[in-house]
A and B are shown apart, each in its own frame.
Chain A
Amino acid sequence: MTHSGYAGKILRVDLTEGRLWTEPTKKYSNDWIGGRGINDWILFNELRPETGPLDPENMLLFGVGSLVGTLSPFCCRVSVDTKNVFNGGVGSANCGGHFGAEMKYAGYDNLVITGRSPEPVYLWLNDGEAELRDAEKLWGTTTWDTERSIRQMHGDNEVRVIGIGQAGENLVKSACIMSDRAKAAGGSGVGAVMGSKNLKAVAARGSQPISVAHPERFIDAVDEVRAKIETFPKAKLYREDGYYGVESYYGSPAWEAGFRPVRNGQDDYWDPEKIKRVAGDTIKPYRKKILACYGCPVGCMPWMKIPDGPYEVEGEGWWNNSSNSFCTRVDVDNPEAAIKAHLRTNQLGLDGDNASVVIAWAFEAYEKGLLTVKDTDGLELTWGNHDAMLTLIDKLAYREGFGDFLADGVKAAAEKLGGGSEDYALHIRGQDAVDGIRISKGWGFGVVTSQAHGRHLRGAVHSFSPDKFLSWDDVPYNVHMQEQFKAILDSTGTCLYNNGLLSWETRIEPSSSRYIVELNVALTGMDYGVDGYMKIGRRIHNLEKAFNTLHCGFTRKDDYPPKRYWEEPVKSGPYKGEHLDHETWDRMLEQYYELHGWDPETGLQTREGLEELGLGSVADKLRAAGLVS
């Protein structure tokens, strides 16, 4: 029986035994939609708290959203979920590109991978069939070479590949999983989990059909969204200049919003002369083309090319965060070195967001004299030394020399070094935290309370209006709404950024999800209405919260920012003096917990709240561990 909107099957893989089997997606989709929702439910129910992130028993799940592979605009996303290598809690990453649609056409909505293969392998998904194949020759190669080799082996340039580079193989905690060479499922060390399983890549090719429950209604919904998108001038600009070109031109408010901490967060304001050298409009000469993910009418990712010189490179990728990770954070204003750094991390399968935190911390420890060239393999880690940054990226991915010292993340490195370096080790619940959080309050509060630990892809909300950056008005409400909304986006496979054209400029309300809900209802026939979908969003969010409670014992005490952001104000620029204060933060936390129906004192979930969401079995598990109010 067809399952409208879905490939219809979930693939289970036991790498230790080399065993593969399937189960119907229908078993989960009515309650959890798809993508992250299904992944989270399986993880919560099947992964034991005592399992370590790099143990064979840990599970690695890939979930394609329900709307992926259809005419739904900007629906291409894959959710990768596992146990987080930094802290053992929720591990969750998400990427776009073309792999998700191909995985669905190959016949699978989700992959649930456990065990550890005795030898390196890749998983080949081919038109309804799946098998493990030898990856010995791929091991040790970059994500780019891996993709090229797999396509050559299959004699098919349309095979889509998601996989790890050297960083994941070497169990570096900031390792990510790369799709189509350029789209990173980053954070949580998902690449290290994949490496620990001896799984180099997943490759997909297929032409299995995806049926539509209500075709005419679906086309109407697609046409409505497409027409709406064209009313936003930014849609046209993204296609022409890419996301970075549009949002990070010289003079853009984004440069003053504190999203890009300067010199490891010593400041949130960067010298305008330096901004000028790497801003969206000034790096335009390196941008050869703008490319789109599957089914996206608002392509936004640039193809960058440095034709010659020491930083010669060519490839897809450069994003807003890149100018944080490889520019402001280490005070680098050389655009060619920064672009090279971004593309090099793509090759090595290193998450720029996570990796740049520990690199910038090392630069600061060097500035303060705690590290010298004797410790750093001769590298002079002076701010702005782009060549040292580039060398360190490779050392980190290969765990070579000083790179190995950094490879377990900033918390572990600071604990080893000591000397007060812990005070400027920017992590949240143990995971390296890239975001600037002192200025834009909705962004900062969402980042810190995120169930994915210091990452902005949960509840973080922001305004592009500078007069609202500092406002705490409605922050708990907006963050708790965004969390539910984002869970729907991740389960339907919708891009947060381009969907943002439909919702980000306004306050997030349940009605913000109406376009996506209508598409999903028409495609799948699952007609729960906007409120029903938002409830599923709350269920998914609460599932992650419960996972963190059960696996890590996280409570209210873990919902606070790193020390630096309390004690050190922004040092220069229009927001000079801005910092976070305990009294306001505590008040916001209590409001936020109450909105979620959690105990305002402890931050723990309540049995009543969970039962109202139909999560009585989750409450039972928490009660058995004494972790529910």
Chain B
Amino acid sequence: MILLDPSKCQGCRICEAACGFHHSGHKEFNPALSSTHISRDNDTAHITMNVDSSCDLCVGEKTPLCVKYCAYGAREVKR
């Protein structure tokens, strides 16, 4: 599973782009295909992160792409 740490997330959402890219078979950036979602409350800066059941832990990739591209250490893979 993907472990999430919202306290480290700075809300860039590159994980969403990476996830959709994986699920498209590396063909496109498609938000509809992303298994992960980042949301920020603009009144408080509170960030929420989630991963839904469509996550396949990036079958076929060396590392889950959301973990690979997170620059903030907010995601980790636990197998």
Encoded as 1 (CB less than 8 Å from any B CB) or 0, chain A from 197 to 231 comes to 00000000011011110011001000000100000
- Bound together, the chains give a CA A564 to CA B56 distance in angstroms of 64
* Given A69-B17, A292-B11, A298-B71, A181 contacting B42 (CB threshold 8 A): yes
Question: CA separation between A185 and B48, bound complex, in Å?
Answer: 27
Q: Does B26 make an interface contact (CB < 8 A)? A: yes
Q: Which of B11, B14, B21, B31 lies in contact with A105, CB distance below 8 A?
A: B31
Would B30 and A209 count as touching, CB distance under 8 A?
Answer: yes
Contact A207 B17 (CB under 8 A): no
Number of chain B interface residues as a range: 20 to 34
Is B1 an interface residue when CB atoms closer than 8 A count as contact?
no
What total of chain A residues lie within 8 Å of the partner, measured CB to CB?
A: 39
What residues of A have a CB within 8 angstroms of the CB of B52 in the complex?
Answer: none
Q: Are A71 and B69 neighbours in the complex by a CB distance under 8 Å?
A: yes
When C-beta atoms are compared, the residue in chain A nearest to B12 turns out to be: A292
A290: min CB distance to chain B, Å: 6
A71 near B71 with CB under 8 A, answer no
Partner of B10, one of A98, A180, A216, A290: A290
A382 within 8 A of B: no
Instruction: Name the distance in Å between B67's Cβ and chain A's nearest Cβ.
Output: 13
A316 to B, closest residue via Cβ? B45
Report if A211-B27 is in contact (Cβ < 8 Å); known contacts: A70-B17, A294-B12, A299-B72.
Answer: yes
- Known A-B contacts A71-B17, A157-B41; the reply to A299 vs B12 at CB < 8 A is yes
A357 to chain B, nearest CB (A): 29
CB contacts (< 8 Å) of A105 on chain B: these are 31
Which residues 63-114 of A sit at the B interface, judged by CB distance below 8 A?
69-71, 98, 101, 105
Query: Do A295 and B41 touch across chains, with their CB atoms under 8 A apart?
Result: no
- A597 in the interface, Cβ–Cβ < 8 Å? no
Residues of the A chain whose Cβ atoms lie less than 8 Å from the Cβ of B39: 157-158
| Candidates B10, B14, B41; contact of A71 at CB < 8 Å | B14
Closest to B17 in A: A71
Q: How far is A303 from B41 in the complex, measured between Cα atoms in Å?
A: 12
User: A291-B11, A295-B17 in contact; A209/B29 too (CB < 8 A)?
Assistant: yes
Find chain A residues with CB under 8 A from B18 CB.
71
Bound Cα distance A379, B42 (Å): 33
Residue in chain B with minimal CB distance to A304: B45
In the bound assembly, the distance between CA atoms of A499 and B61 in angstroms comes to 28
Interchain CA distance A427-B42 in the complex, whole Å: 35
Q: Is A545 an interface residue, CB under 8 A from the partner? A: no
A316 to B43, CA, bound (A): 9
Q: How far is the CA of A471 from the CA of B24 in the complex (A)?
A: 52
- Please name the residue on chain B nearest to A76 by beta carbon: B12
Whether the Cβ atoms of A207 and B31 lie closer than 8 Å is: yes
**In the complex, what's the smallest C-beta–C-beta distance from A379 to chain B, in angstroms?**
31
Question: In this assembly, does B77 line the interface, its C-beta being within 8 Å of a C-beta of chain A?
Answer: no
Q: Mark A42-59, 1 if CB is under 8 A from B, else 0.
A: 000000000000000000
Q: Would you give the 0/1 interface string for B16-40, flagging 1 where the beta carbon is closer than 8 Å to chain A?
A: 0110110010111111100000011
The smallest beta-carbon distance between A126 and chain B, in angstroms, is 13
Question: Smallest CB–CB gap between B20 and chain A, Å?
Answer: 8
| Chain B residue contacts of A453, Cβ below 8 A | none
The complex places the Cα of A210 from the Cα of B13 at a distance, in Å, of 16
Nearest-Cβ distance from residue A45 to partner chain B, whole angstroms = 31
Interchain CB contact under 8 A, B69 and A148: no
CA distance A201 to B46 in the complex (A): 24
Q: How far is the CA of A367 from the CA of B39 in the complex (A)?
A: 49
Which of chain B's residues have a CB closer than 8 A to the CB of A289?
10, 45
User: What residue in chain B is nearest A69 (Cβ atoms)?
Assistant: B29
A627 at the interface (CB under 8 A from B): no
Task: Encode contact with B along A295-309: 1 for CB under 8 Å, 0 otherwise.
Answer: 111110001000000
Q: How far apart are A182's CB and chain B's nearest CB, in angstroms?
A: 8
Contacts of A207 in B (CB 8 A): 30-32
A180 B29 Cβ-Cβ under 8 A = no
Alpha-carbon gap, A256 to B20, bound state (A): 46
Residues of A within 8 A of B20 (CB): 209
- B29 & A212 in contact (Cβ 8 Å cutoff): yes
| Residues in B neighbouring A316, C-beta threshold 8 A | 42, 45
Pairwise interchain contact A210-B69, C-beta atoms closer than 8 A: no
Decide yes or no whether A239 CB sits under 8 A from chain B: yes
Q: A157-B39, A239-B71 are in contact. Are A294 and B30 (CB under 8 A)?
A: no
How far, in whole Å, are A453 and B72 apart by their CA atoms in the complex?
A: 38
A147 CB-CB contact with B under 8 Å = yes
Known: A212-B28, A239-B71. A297 touches B14 (CB 8 A): yes
For A133, the chain B residues whose CB sits under 8 A away are none
CB pair B45 A295 closer than 8 Å: no
Which residue of chain A has its CB nearest to the CB of B69?
Answer: A71
Query: Do A148 and B42 touch (CB < 8 A)?
Result: yes
* Inter-chain pairs besides A210-B29, A212-B21, 6 sampled, C-beta below 8 Å: A209-B30, A210-B28, A212-B28, A289-B10, A295-B14, A297-B69
Residues of B that sit less than 8 Å from A by CB: 10-14, 17-18, 20-21, 24, 26-32, 39-45, 69, 71-72
Taking Cβ atoms with an 8 Å cutoff, the residues of A that contact B are 69-71, 98, 101, 105, 144, 147-148, 157-158, 180-181, 206-207, 209-212, 215-216, 219, 226, 239, 288-299, 303, 314, 316
Name 8 interchain pairs, CB-CB below 8 A, sorted by A: A71-B29, A105-B31, A219-B26, A289-B45, A291-B11, A292-B12, A299-B12, A299-B72
